[in-house]
Amino acid sequence: MTPFALTRIIAMLGLSIAAITANQATPIQPKELIEKAKKAGLKPMPQGKELAAYQQEQIKKHKLAAPYKPTLTHAQVELGKKLYFDPRLSKSNLISCNTCHNLGLGGADMVPTAIGHKWQANPSHLNSPSVYNSMFNSVQFWDGRAGDLGHQAQGPIENPVEMAATAKEILARIQSIPAYVNEFKAAYGNNVKIDFKLIADTIALFEMTLNTPSRYDDFLNGNVKALSKEEQAGLNMFIDKGCTACHTDINLGGSMQAFSVVKPYKFAKVGGFKGDANGMVKAPSLRNVLDTAPYFHNGQYWDIKDAIKEMGSIQLGIAISDQEAQTIEKFFQSLNGKYPAVIYPILPASTAATPKPAF
């Protein structure tokens, strides 16, 4: 038996029990609901000193910007921000990380499928997930092929359908701009050796600051008044229906999960994406989910209530009514977090030595 098959059986057994017991959300006291949520695997976003410790743990774990020892200094984050917004990291000089992960649009792009170099649509019709809170995902990309933000940042730059550049081309552009060279020295020391990995890892350091704590986190941390009664009822139903089987932990998602557990996804043929080798797909984070339509890996649902009902059908084997979907949507309102203030940077000017764009 393959790991994927075993996962499907376990999920079906567990979720079928949820289907029997969760026709209606049972009223519950706020403090009891907090404990119930934590037992279901839901965790508040770390903040303050806890967040700083979490960030340093991730930097060390994934060896970001190694052999240097980044501590998310102002110079490192500001440099990463400039690189994130710089379209010269694409072959055409037209596409930046922010093109598909627009920080003014919930970190996504509001189209069903990502559009890249020469207006090419993603060949698997894949939708751009939000970059906000992506540090809390255990894997990156819909098929989970990257384990950290540094490796994720490399992928689109070199993908011929996305930014269509090569590591060599990007390195040449950055090294041809004295202001960028000086900023790398300010960020990592005068002896810094700029390479493609360091460029991508620096983008990742900036992305690690794009976190959106919400009232939901306040609630899990003990503020029983942080969520309205309607939002609490939605959270309770979200747990009772079995949604936390996949949408769990800090990000309410971000890990690889079995997909179409009970029956096929209605729009599975759109793009033909089948996940990783075992058919597993990264469950998207639900933070700020109301800001990131359309939904699913191929962006086929624009109304969150329809997406909720489809998940109930294909993942849990239950029919979620319109009223129940609306109740869960109420909970999702509490996941709308406080976006960090991001001032669009003035990018350093190109020089005569900077390689020209190509189309």
Q: In CATH, what is the architecture of 48-208? A: Orthogonal Bundle (1.10)
Q: What is the reported pLDDT for 13?
A: 44
What is the rounded CA–CA span in Å between residue 286 and residue 270? 22
Q: Which two tokens stand for residue 108?
A: 């996504």
* CATH topology match: 31-46+213-335 vs 48-208: yes
Q: Is the pLDDT of residue 14 over 70?
A: no
Q: Which two tokens stand for residue 346?
A: 């003035």
Structural domain boundaries of the chain? 31-46+213-335, 48-208
Q: What is the reported pLDDT for 8?
A: 46
Q: What is the mean pLDDT of residues 36-56?
A: 98
Does 62 appear as a known binding residue? no
Q: Is the pLDDT of residue 5 over 50?
A: no
Does 246 appear as a known binding residue? yes
Q: What is the reported pLDDT for 26?
A: 58
Q: What is the mean pLDDT of residues 120-139?
A: 98
Q: What is the reported pLDDT for 252?
A: 98
pLDDT > 90 fraction of the chain, expressed in percent and rounded:
92
Does 97 appear as a known binding residue? yes
Q: Is the pLDDT of residue 24 over 60?
A: no
Condensed to tens digits (0 to 9), the pLDDT of residues 80-110 reads 999 999 999 999 999 999 999 999 999 999 9
Condensed to tens digits (0 to 9), the pLDDT of residues 292-317 reads 999 999 999 999 999 999 999 999 99
3-state secondary structure the chain: CCHHHHHHHHHHHHHHHHHHHCCCCCCCCHHHHHHHHHHCCECCCCCCHHHHHHHHHHHHHHCCCCCCCCCCCHHHHHHHHHHHHCHHHCCCCCCCHHHHCECCCCCECCCCCCECHHHCECCCCCCCCCCCCHHHCCCECCCCCECCHHHHHHHHHHCCCCCCCCHHHHHHHHHCCHHHHHHHHHHHCCCCCCCHHHHHHHHHHHHCCCCCCCHHHHHHCCCCCCCCHHHHHHHHHHHHCCHHHCCCECCCCCCEEECCCCCCCCCCCCCCCCCCCCCEEECCCCCCHHHCCCECCCCCECCHHHHHHHHHHHHHCCCCCHHHHHHHHHHHHCCCCCCCCCCCCCCCCCCCCCCCCCC
CATH 1.10.760.10 fits 31-46+213-335, yes or no: yes
**Which pLDDT band, with edges at 50, 70 and 90, does 17 fall under?**
very low
Q: Is the pLDDT of residue 12 over 50?
A: no
Does 74 appear as a known binding residue? no
Q: Is the pLDDT of residue 11 over 80?
A: no
Measured between alpha carbons, how far apart are the two ends of the chain, in Å? 48
Q: What is the reported pLDDT for 47?
A: 97
**Which pLDDT band, with edges at 50, 70 and 90, does 15 fall under?**
very low
Mean pLDDT of the chain: 94
What is the rounded CA–CA span in Å between residue 228 and residue 30? 10
Write down the residue that tokens 């990742």 correspond to.
204
What is the rounded CA–CA span in Å between residue 17 and residue 43? 23
Q: Is the pLDDT of residue 351 over 90?
A: yes
* pTM of the full structure: 0.93
So which residues are the catalytic ones?
A: 162
Q: What is the reported pLDDT for 27?
A: 76
Does 243 appear as a known binding residue? yes
At a CB cut-off of 8 Å and minimum separation 6, what does 302 contact?
293, 294, 295
